[in-house]
Structure 1
Amino acid sequence: MKVEFGDGEEKVPLGKIAERAKQYQPTPRVTYKMIQEYIEEKYGFKVHMAYIAEVKRNLGLPMYDAPNMVEELKQPRRHPTAEKVEAIKDALKHFRVI
């Protein structure tokens, strides 16, 4: 069987092939830095990476192993305010993580 590409009868249009290829491209990986920049730009305050990790953990999202993770913290961990939690959730929705 011979397949021909282009416009016309019994030919496979190239435009549709390009559209289907775009559908199968992997989505770019969202970094904590991207989330921080989005929140700072939209809300005008900064959030710590630990806050982002805590929100992700509470939502049950997949987490990657941190090679530099410590067994015991030197200081007790502070928790994000409700305002920061909502901003982080908004950023995760914006980047289609949730």
Structure 2
Amino acid sequence: MATYEQIRSDVRSSTGKTMQNCWIAHVKELNGLAPKAAANRKSLNERVKPCPDNMRPLIEASMRRLGLIK
């Protein structure tokens, strides 16, 4: 399974944009993958920084390239 750093690096190399770990975790959750629980997360039921709608396709494309989703 690809790491958050691999996903961030892949998106950065293909688009030049930098992704946040919380965005990657949100997209993983939306695609049925279990993200790791962050030690500093305040609530398991609420996201402080959900992934912006315009960044989701970039993260999902990277996840497809890395074999996380189809």
Which has the greater radius of gyration?
1
- Does TM, normalized by the shorter one, top 0.5? yes
What is the rounded CA distance, in whole Å, between the counterparts of 2:51 and 2:42 in structure 1?
A: 21
Q: Which runs of 5+ in 2 are unaligned?
A: none
Q: Which runs of 5+ in 1 are unaligned?
A: 1-28
Query: Structure 1 length as normaliser, TM-score?
Result: 0.59
Give RMSD over aligned pairs: 1.8
Runs (4 or more) in structure 1 with deviation over 6 Å come to: none
> Aligned pair in 2 of structure 1 residues 82, 70: CA closer, same or farther (>3 Å)?
closer
Query: Structure 2 length as normaliser, TM-score?
Result: 0.79
Identity of aligned residues (%): 20
Q: Which residue of 1 aligns with 2:62?
A: 91
Q: Which residue of 2 aligns with 1:39?
A: 11
Q: How far is 1:60 from its partner?
A: 1.1
What is the rounded CA distance, in whole Å, between the counterparts of 2:50 and 2:42 in structure 1?
A: 18
Tell me which of the two structures has the higher relative contact order, counting C-alpha pairs closer than 8 angstroms and 6 or more residues apart.
2
Aligned pair count reads 66
